[in-house]
Amino acid sequence: MRIVVIGANGATGRLAVFEGLARGHEMVAFVRDAAQVTLTDPRLTVAQGDAFDPATVVAALEGADAVISAIGRSRKRGSKERDKGPFYAPAMRVILDGVATRGVKRLAVISSQGVGDEPLQGLALPLRAFRLVVGRVMDDMREMERLVEASDTEWTITRPGGLTGKPKGAYVVLPGNSLRGHGSTPRADLAEALVLAVTEGRWLRQAVVVAA
């Protein structure tokens, strides 16, 4: 398969590219700055662009069988002003338009535990606090999820817990908004789940918790 990873310079996006290559797929790393991609592989193409730029998104999706969205807010000083406002939903609108234009069917995206519509009292205490502190970000992610769910794609929404740099290991993937006792997710596990979602059609049209 030819898989485009949008946000491939991020910590999880890079691992998704590695995972796809390890499984024999043709990967496209869609990044803002191609010079930052140091990996070389005959099956890897680097596409420079911006998830908010429809032209570069459509160009990168040419010939794609699947898309993994690993977009995230920049934490660097001097990052663009839009990073302070809605980010996930506006970018996903552009991605979904590109997917529709190119006829791409499979899509996997990263959201977060606690983003779903489950009432606050149904969440574990850490997630309650997290939702209260970063409510606007979660509202943005919630709108992103709604856009994905309303699309014609064979989508999977992944909801990790707190992301860690631990190596790949045993993890669970279950439908839902959160999973008590499973509040962390190694990025390597999340990357594997994203690749399996688009290559093997696992968890189609489901929002699933991915956690260790």
Q: Over 80: is that where the pLDDT of 135 sits? A: no
* Residue-range domain boundaries for the chain: 2-211
Task: Please check whether residue 117 is in contact with residue 145, taking contact to mean a CB–CB distance below 8 angstroms.
Answer: no
- Looking at every residue in the chain, the average pLDDT score rounds to 89
Residues 4-42 pLDDT 10s: 999 999 999 999 999 999 999 999 999 999 999 999 999
What is the reported pLDDT for 115? 84
Q: Over 70: is that where the pLDDT of 122 sits? A: no
CATH class of 2-211: alpha beta
Q: Over 90: is that where the pLDDT of 138 sits? A: no
What's the farthest any 2 CA atoms get from each other in the chain? 50
Q: Look up the pTM and report it.
A: 0.89
Task: Please check whether residue 155 is in contact with residue 107, taking contact to mean a CB–CB distance below 8 angstroms.
Answer: yes
Q: 60: pLDDT confidence band, cut at 50, 70 and 90?
A: very high
Instruction: Please tell me the distance from the alpha carbon of residue 120 to that of residue 124, in angstroms, as a whole number.
Output: 9
Write out the two tokens for 63: 């010939």
Instruction: Please tell me the distance from the alpha carbon of residue 24 to that of residue 2, in angstroms, as a whole number.
Output: 10
What is the reported pLDDT for 81? 41
